[in-house]
Structure 1
Amino acid sequence: MTATSSQPPAMPEIERKIRQSIPTEYVQQWLKIQPKRAYRDLALDWLAIVASLVLAAVVPTVWTYLLAFLVVGTSQYKLFILAHDAIHGALHPNRRINDNLARWLVYGPLFMALEDARRSHNDHHRYMGTPDDPDRYLHTFAAKNSPFQFLLYCSGLATFGKTVLKVTPFGKLLAAQNKTSTGRLKRPNDPKISRALDDYFKQRIPVLVWQPLLILVFLLSPLSLWSYLILWIAPIYFLVFVTDEIRAFCDHAVLLYPDETGDPDRLISFRPPWWEAQIFSPHHMNYHAEHHLWPSMPHYNLSKAHRLVRNRPEVTVRYSYVAFLWKVLCNLPLGDRQ
């Protein structure tokens, strides 16, 4: 799709057009959630974590620690992707079970909170391809339009604070504050700040339960306490946070400048090599265009939807995350930034 003198269709219109082209009976079948699949996926991901930590404890070498770091981190990210399904109610058909699985088996161990993640992510789906998308800074070339800026972004350092703040009640307050005419910061004793603090800690009860338990497990195991930092905290940063920032960029980035000219083309899916999918898009997260078209579709049915939309001109299909990142790096800067 190329920019023309006429106004290009907005993303909601594009998505609606594609949805209407797919037979309803197909979609209804794809939206069915298999509860046993949720338990199986969660169990296998946790089993990989436990097995790799046991190996590092029994055979404490540099290589087993490196293997544990990689397996723990990629498995943590797999759990994170399953919790993403839970955000949309697509992990388990029972909403209470769906939410509690995400809270207690994913977000608590990973220092996160379901409600804040759901609020921010639903806004991303609602406003994707517009200036109101809370994730827009991840997709565009703002602060990424030079090789150095882009590599800094890919390190996670450029966006860590903004992304973490976004998925807290304070991020919601700040977004509302930025829309006011005064722009004045609220005082700490403001009732809204107090409510945000209460909300923050209430949502993070699973975190406050899980982290002391994890520390205790490391203390009582043959693994030393610093292993908690190397084999649990560090993988969350390098193989969950950084990986997700890179994937989020790849899933919506378009090599066009100015950024708004690429907005109609941000429905993108990948068909990557197996090893790339294990790192960047486990549990079928590579079918990202299909996920945006049907957010409540469980991950294991997205490939079925992909077969019917992959040849549409509104959907871009890429074949490698690494190749796309290299292409971006080789084409920077885009346009003339003053």
Structure 2
Amino acid sequence: MIASDTLDRAPSAPDAKVHKRNLAGMPEDKAMLRAAADLTRDIAKARPEIYWPDMLASAAVGYLALYGAIATTQPAVTVLLGALSAVALYRALLFIHELTHIHRDALPGFRFGWNVLVGIPVLIPSFMYEGVHTLHHARTRYGTVEDPEYLPLALMKPWTLPVFALTALLLPIGLLIRSAILVPLGALIPPLRTLVWERASALSINPQYRRRKPEGDFARMVFWQELGATAWSWLVLGWSATHGWRPLLIAIGVLSATALLNQIRTLVAHLWENEGEVMSVTGQYLDSVNVPPPAMFTALWAPVGLRYHALHHLLPSMPYHSLAECHRRIRAHLGVSSTYEGANYSGLFPMLARLARSSMRRGA
């Protein structure tokens, strides 16, 4: 086990024995936490000159490629442009992660712009992640049954991994049904409205999670975003019914590929070895995954800073464009034998293999 874990790691990582320790009982590495905070204060400000062009360019490429995939009559071109659209829209969509962490005054208009250009058109308004993802970072919730984004996948039956990944292919259809049918019906049937909100209004993977009723300003934001998503879904369905279903089917295929890509990334975001116990911040860090350079193609499957997912758990409010420099500074300061190295791995496929081996050993 130790040898195979070592092969999974980045070349400079220390012995993987740290992963064999009980992470739920891991004491805080105060030197690492202090270094992470002290060394990065000067780059903790979100820069609109990076956020806006990145989001707008990603959305533009995604939609233009989608249009090309729909307009062409050549199947091979449709597939190629559809793949490009899926990757670009995936990057644009993942700015929803940034919206959950940045201060509401840090990027004026960005939340509204993202929802109009990305969130509502793909039927994933920002409320579906805001107020949800922050629970995943809560000190006493991470890895427990109250964490909406955690399942002990490494300890579950081996067949759960492909099922977990492939169910993402149904997400666009589910979102269309939700916005076009369930939300409007819920306005007339209060019990259905409660059910839809609790069970189908959050980007979560924990089936035990139940979302609490929105209140105040957040409830008003939810209302307008829901209204926009429902109106858009009706417009899309109405246009498809009168002009043909091919464009919608291609768009569903593209968004299904995007959802699958995100689900595969989710599989390697953590080690998924916690069995519901409360963990220290250090334990949470070591249960999470960085895939730093020289890993190739990481920016495609873990964009917008998510290649530094473990580091993100140390510095949740750090803007994505600063994480690479944070990683460089902390690593240089603490050295290759530090706890910090314990969350650095070499790539997507070694991590998927590690998860599969763990599931087969412990969940068979």
Conserved? CA contact 1:154–1:245, under 8 Å: yes
Query: Whole-Å Cα distance in 2 between the matches of residues 136 and 249 of structure 1?
Result: 10
Normalized against structure 2, the TM-score is what? 0.69
Code of the aligned partner of 1:170: E
SS in 1 for 2:297: helix
For residue 354 of structure 2, the aligned residue among 324, 327, 334 is 327
Residue 253 of structure 2 corresponds to which residue in structure 1? 234
**Once the two structures are superposed, what CA deviation does each residue of 1:88-126 show, in whole Å capped at 9, x if it has no partner?**
12698235x132123222211121132231111010111
Matched, 1:63 2:76: yes
Conserved? CA contact 1:154–1:242, under 8 Å: yes
For residue 312 of structure 2, the aligned residue among 288, 291, 312 is 291
Conserved? CA contact 2:290–2:308, under 8 Å: yes
SS in 1 for 2:154: coil
Residue 313 of structure 1 corresponds to which residue in structure 2? 339
Residue 160 of structure 2 corresponds to which residue in structure 1? 149
Change (3 A) 1:294 1:225: same
Query: Whole-Å Cα distance in 1 between the matches of residues 235 and 363 of structure 2?
Result: 53
How many angstroms does 1:52 deviate by? 1.6
Query: Whole-Å Cα distance in 1 between the matches of residues 55 and 209 of structure 2?
Result: 40
Conserved? CA contact 2:52–2:110, under 8 Å: no
Change (3 A) 1:157 1:212: closer
Matched, 1:277 2:302: no
- In structure 1, runs of 5+ residues without a counterpart are 181-191
Query: Whole-Å Cα distance in 2 between the matches of residues 55 and 114 of structure 1?
Result: 27
Change (3 A) 1:117 1:258: closer
How many angstroms does 1:318 deviate by? 1.3
How many angstroms does 1:65 deviate by? 0.7
How many angstroms does 1:298 deviate by? 1.5
Matched, 1:111 2:137: no
Change (3 A) 1:168 1:250: farther
Matched, 1:208 2:244: no
Code of the aligned partner of 1:106: V
Matched, 1:244 2:301: no
Conserved? CA contact 2:157–2:359, under 8 Å: yes
Residue 18 of structure 1 corresponds to which residue in structure 2? 32
Over the residues paired in the alignment, what is the CA RMSD in angstroms? 4.2
SS in 2 for 1:88: coil
1 or 2 for the larger relative contact order (CA 8 Å, sep ≥6)? 2
Change (3 A) 1:171 1:65: same
Normalized against structure 1, the TM-score is what? 0.74
Residue 8 of structure 1 corresponds to which residue in structure 2? 25
Code of the aligned partner of 1:206: G
Query: Whole-Å Cα distance in 2 between the matches of residues 61 and 91 of structure 1?
Result: 45
Matched, 1:35 2:54: no
Conserved? CA contact 2:121–2:229, under 8 Å: yes
Which has the higher mean CA deviation after the structures are superposed, 197-206 or 267-276? Answer: 197-206
Query: Whole-Å Cα distance in 2 between the matches of residues 157 and 179 of structure 1?
Result: 18
Conserved? CA contact 1:72–1:235, under 8 Å: yes
How many angstroms does 1:129 deviate by? 3.5
SS in 2 for 1:269: coil
Aligned length: 307
Residue 185 of structure 1 corresponds to which residue in structure 2? none
How many angstroms does 1:45 deviate by? 0.9
Query: Whole-Å Cα distance in 2 between the matches of residues 208 and 259 of structure 1?
Result: 36
- In structure 2, runs of 5+ residues without a counterpart are 1-17, 179-194
SS in 2 for 1:295: coil
Identity in percent: 16
Change (3 A) 1:54 1:219: farther
Which has the higher mean CA deviation after the structures are superposed, 258-267 or 102-111? Answer: 258-267
Query: Whole-Å Cα distance in 1 between the matches of residues 79 and 347 of structure 2?
Result: 25
How many angstroms does 1:251 deviate by? 1.1
**Once the two structures are superposed, what CA deviation does each residue of 1:206-230 show, in whole Å capped at 9, x if it has no partner?**
323444555688899xx95322221
Code of the aligned partner of 1:27: T
Change (3 A) 1:214 1:282: farther
Residue 188 of structure 1 corresponds to which residue in structure 2? none
